[in-house]
Amino acid sequence: MKITFLGQAGLLFETCDTKIMIDPYFSDSVQKIDAAKFRRVPVCEAFLQIKPDIMIFTHNHIDHFDPETVAHFLSENTAVTVLAPASVWSEVRKIGGKNNFVLFNRHTQWTHGDIRFTAVKAEHSDPTPIGVIIEYRNKKYYITGDTLYNSEIFCDIPKDIYAAFLPINGVGNNMNMDDAKRFCEAINPQFAVPVHWGMFDEINVKEFSFKNTIIPEIYKEVQV
């Protein structure tokens, strides 16, 4: 499984025949709402040419479900499987066309060939946020989505997480670095990959101190 960090909380998972895009943000939509939150990393146009097989949106906030970005990947002429919780599903399905819009609320599973997706609990200001576990070839990749530390989440998480991708910015109802570290200690992944930093802020990600942390570089493969 090849994994590329797209910036903010965006991720691209690729197998030999499947491209999975999660929460991509390739615009300046946030700045239009809050001038202080301007992009600190320019959009890489090459990623706009990708044709994903599956798109996952964890919740309905514009840096995760951005209509301007979505328009590059979904239209009436595409045939993409879209996994989205209720808050996003009600909006994204308006695109219509040949796309398959799957209502992907907590505890829902979806299988695509030899890849299985499971929606798990997240604690955020969106009414129906989710995290996602991707299972592929005996490895489990856990994308928490935007979330606070909430012990109820742990009931949904298996004991053998290979890599966890989690927010550390500590604003907007996300975990800060201390709580993200405690969260990792509770789920004990083999690797922790901090996301949701560097796009709108000057956070020093190297201060995140969980063991076996892999700091991703934007637009580059995550070495897990």
List the chain pLDDT tens, one digit each, 224 residues: 999 999 999 999 999 999 999 999 999 999 999 999 999 999 999 999 999 999 999 999 999 999 999 999 999 999 999 999 999 999 999 999 999 999 999 999 999 999 999 999 999 999 999 999 999 999 999 999 999 999 999 999 999 999 999 999 999 999 999 999 999 999 999 999 999 999 999 999 999 999 999 999 999 999 99
Instruction: Answer whether 0.85 is exceeded by the pTM.
Output: yes
Spatial CB neighbours of 197, under 8 Å, sequence gap ≥ 6:
167, 168, 169, 203, 205
Q: Determine whether domain 2-207 maps to CATH 3.60.150.10.
A: no
Task: Give me the torsion for CA of 18, 9, 99, 67, rounded to 10°.
Answer: -150
- Residue pair 156/106 in contact by the 8 Å Cβ criterion: yes
The β-bridge relationship of strands 2-7 and 10-14 is: antiparallel
The residues pairing with 2 across neighbouring beta strands, listed in sequence order, are 14
